[in-house]
Structure 1
């Protein structure tokens, strides 16, 4: 779930903008395409139903501020995929899921009926229609211009456009949340890191215009709550829209030093702290930041079994040690469905270094949320799998991950972020503004 310089300074160096789609293509939105660009129709065999608007309203029984009741709790699994029947379902699985199942014979995927629950506010649909006619890639594809609020490229023509759709998808206007993360070692040991997190989105706000953004997507900060030895440390990030022209700004408050320091770099392959070396900075929210160190290829669409409607693992009161099992997250709490996903492949450019030299992303056609990523090292070996386990936050409405996982397929470790079962639920109406995201404010939060 979740983490400036004027654009004119380098405008003369920008590569020519890539063309917008024409009005004929844009007119498909809300017709044979969903408002965000997915295929509205059911699949030919009926296993994927048509999109009927998603969960745009809370179901009966929902109480504001509570963990989200499962609207599909009455569903029963269609079947289970495990190492024993892997061959039967191989064509429906990413390479990473195939490897995870083969490595752990006691792991399984419970496959449920497909529920196309993704939804967004009508104003996001309207903004997406505007963007379809006006959005352009700039700076060689490393920035986007002419957009406001909605998905920038609902009918993508290349891999860069598709990955920008994920980066700029709607996630509400502000969020206050308390979550836990853990690096689970091969022997099953882990330590929970509890964080208080605040996000203030500039992109996606009501009535925002392209001129209002000032090259800023959102502001983000967190404070460590536990364990006690780390409590009080805090981080602040200003996420820029074009990080090649204006690098992401980040500051850290150290409890020991009791001072705020500007971080020289928090991007690309910079290691995420407290992940046992598994996660890099650009893996937060599955992928974030400037795309300039990779080449991007749009490989088309495929129907795959992916995490979806993961309400069971989201429910209040589940002990974290019931979720964090040795080797994997508890598969009995997870839900997989058959959905059409966009396949985007990223390969590291020559001259750059990164632990993951190739990544294959699987993006939900209905929300642009990345649902899974296959990770390869510089020798072409599959070494990792990322997953986003999403739900519909139907009170917003917004579709996004409630839990993110990263599996080290070689080392037998994994990393989990987003554990919130025993914490207050996300507050999408938190009283937040830009003044809460300054270095001075960070010091106050850290104290």
Structure 2
């Protein structure tokens, strides 16, 4: 068994919140490590144990890929090295989360983790690497850690010194600048029965707007629109979000177009632990993208780095040859079409601040060092009991040089149900990156015009 590799950071690096705004940027000598012993976004570049060296990531589509079509699995001929299941998971306890261990206990006959060879496929464009290098010495946390100063895009803190910086790296990580996608969400009953909710979604990050105005949009991170396509009872409802960088200074702006009343109304409650869209109470608003939004309700502790088996290169799960019924099963998704690899992650613990309210009293994050994307998050209730387990099944969108999720899954250990978001196996094509939008496309007037039914 691989030895545990948790590396706990010294207390000098666990900075108190009052110091964050002053100490966030790193000296030039530290930043000079980027692209040398560190990758351009701050991960350890060299090989270590069973984790290979990062050599640039997966930049070219594999043979058989057609532009605009489904992603092709570049590792289709590989077989699992071994499978972790209920009979042996304790041997790997140092490399799986408490939530994953609980899944083995709850579903001893069906939950398993097929472990494949590790491929460090995550990569970003040269422009993102250049912005990240600039951020290392310029970007700072402001307002007690609730916003970013001197930031446009890229990784804000490639050499983080506290847990909040790591979380911000996940929150603002590059996702292609702009993207359109049609995806499905399911919340199966315990017996596996489900109704597919289909969304048409658009993201546009502020610097990708054709009319981007730094003075006007300085606190905007991105614009987001979500149109419900089906089922019929929900079809035509549209959510519009203006995501802000500092959501304490200027809360997230959100509006909903209701197809029944044909009216647009402000939706101030779409944040923190308010219910997610059409989620049947199975996720909170800040469970979207595994975690999003203002981090001000938690204390963030950076535990260190750890080698961990996480969902990775999940191309099989994205295959157009699969039907949704092949994936959606009672209790959890079909683990036979998942893929786990050994990767280094940042471990961060979030504990609810005194006087703050949230249904999750504690969260434990495991964030991939190569992409700054959360891979696994364990959620605890107010009694301190493990409640929900999130897994982000990531892929490298080599057609756009973007690491992102192929499927987000949130398991509820209490109810025996789960939510899966991002299903597109039965949709035409894949995500479309690089479209042009203006801020006018994300106005309430445009929202009203886009309403139908």
Q: Does 1:178 align with 2:188?
A: no
3-state SS of paired residue (1:386): strand
Structure 1 residue 74, shift from structure 2 partner: 1.4
Q: Higher mean Cα deviation, 224-233 or 208-217?
A: 208-217
CA deviation profile, 1:168-213 (whole Å, cap 9, x unmatched): 1110111111000011121222111001111111157899897674
CA distance in 2: counterparts of 1:429 and 1:54, whole angstroms: 20
Residue number in structure 2 paired with 1:5:
none
RMSD: 1.9
Work out whether residues 208 and 437 of structure 2, in 8 Å CA contact, stay in contact via their aligned partners in 1. no
How much does 1:142 deviate? 0.5
1:148–1:208 Cα contact (<8 Å) kept? no
Partner of 1:165: 169
In structure 2, list runs of 5 or more residues that go unmatched. Answer: 1-17
State the Cα distance separating 1:344 from its structure 2 match.
Answer: 0.7
The answer for the alignment partner of 2:97 in structure 1 is 94
CA distance in 2, matches of 1:314, 1:156: 32
Report the CA distance between 1:15 and its aligned residue.
8.6
Equivalent residue number for residue 278 of structure 2 = 274
Report the Cα offset of residue 225 of structure 1: 0.7
**Distance across 1 between alignment mates of 2:79 and 2:264:** 51
State whether residues 371 and 389 of structure 1, in contact with CA within 8 Å, keep that contact through their aligned partners in structure 2. Answer: yes
2:418 aligns with: 414
Q: 2:46 aligns with which of 16, 41, 45?
A: 41
- 2: CA distance, partners of 1:243 / 1:333: 38
Give the 3 Å change call, closer, same or farther, for CA 16–26 of structure 1 in structure 2. Answer: closer
- Distance in 2 separating the partners of 1:173 and 1:179: 18
Aligned to 2:147: 143
SS of 2:395's partner is strand
Matches within 5 A, 1:389-404: 389-404=393-408
Aligned residues: 433
Equivalent residue runs for 1:250-399 within 5 Å: 250-399=254-403
Taking a change above 3 Å as real, the CA distance of residues 434 and 61 of structure 1, as seen in their structure-2 partners, is same
Using a 3 Å threshold, how does the CA distance of structure 1 residues 211 and 29 change in structure 2: closer, same or farther?
farther
Equivalent-residue separation in structure 1 for 2:211 and 2:235 (angstroms) = 38
Residue 235 (structure 1) aligned with residue 239 (structure 2): yes
Show structure 1 runs of 5+ residues with no match. Answer: 1-12
Which whole-Å deviations, capped at 9, do the CAs of 1:296-349 have from their partners, x for residues lacking one?
A: 011100001000000001011411111000111000110000000000110001
Alpha-carbon offset, residue 427 of structure 1: 0.8
Q: 2:133 aligns with which of 129, 135, 150?
A: 129
Which residue pairs with 2:9 in the alignment? none
Distance 1:442 1:284 in 2: 21
* Separation (CA, whole Å) in 2 of partners of 1:179 and 1:322: 16
Deviation of 1:60 after TM superposition, in Å, equals 2.5
Per-residue deviation, 1:72? 0.9
- In the alignment, what sits opposite 2:73? 70
Instruction: Check the 8 A contact 1:172/1:398 in 2, yes or no.
Output: yes
C-alpha contact 1:114 1:337 (8 A) present in aligned 2: yes
TM superposition score normalised by structure 1: 0.94
Could you tell me how far 1:16 is from its partner in structure 2?
Answer: 4.9
Matched-pair contact (CA < 8 Å) for 1:194–1:224: yes
- Residues 22 and 112 (structure 1 numbering): CA distance in 2 closer, same or farther, change over 3 Å? same
Secondary structure at 1:384 match in 2: strand
